[in-house]
Every structure is written in structure tokens, then in C-alpha cells.
Amino acid sequence: MVNESGLRFEDECVRHKILDSIGDFSLFGYPIEGHIVADKSGHTTNVKFLKKLMACTECWEIVAEEVENAQYPVLSYSYI
């Protein structure tokens, strides 16, 4: 541990992983409408997945979705 006092929260490592994943997936450039299940993921595996997803253009589409009375493009995907 870097902090001399130890963890600030009991689930701090999990929180860190979740925030890392959110940051990695935000690199796509659009909000993602979907459900992400990750097991032992990290920056490298997240970026590899995003590269595969971006290369498989028939697996996703950009759709307009109304959010708070404004139009935002949203990525909708189905990846197998």
C-alpha cells in the first residue's frame, strides 16, 4: 500500500478498478448504452476490447438518444 494508513474504504481496490474501467471505456468518445461484465480486467484488456469493438463496425451503431431535453449521440452495441 502506498498510503501509510492503509485503505480508506474496505472495497477501495474494487472502486479503483471500476473507475479505471469507466475511464478506459470513455476513450471510445461516446456514451455506451450497454452492460459491461469484466473479470480480471485492466487498462490493457479494456483497450484491446475497445479496439476489437471499434474494428467490428457491424457490432455497434451510433444512435441519437434524448437526454435531459438534448440530443446526444449514444453508442449502442451488441458484441459477441
Which of 15, 16, 43, 52 is labelled catalytic? 43
Rounded Cα gap, residues 70 and 64, in angstroms: 10
With H, G, I as helix, E, B as strand and everything else as coil, classify residue 16: helix
43 has catalytic annotation? yes
Q: How many CA atoms lie within 13 A of 44 on its CB side?
A: 1
Active site residues: 43
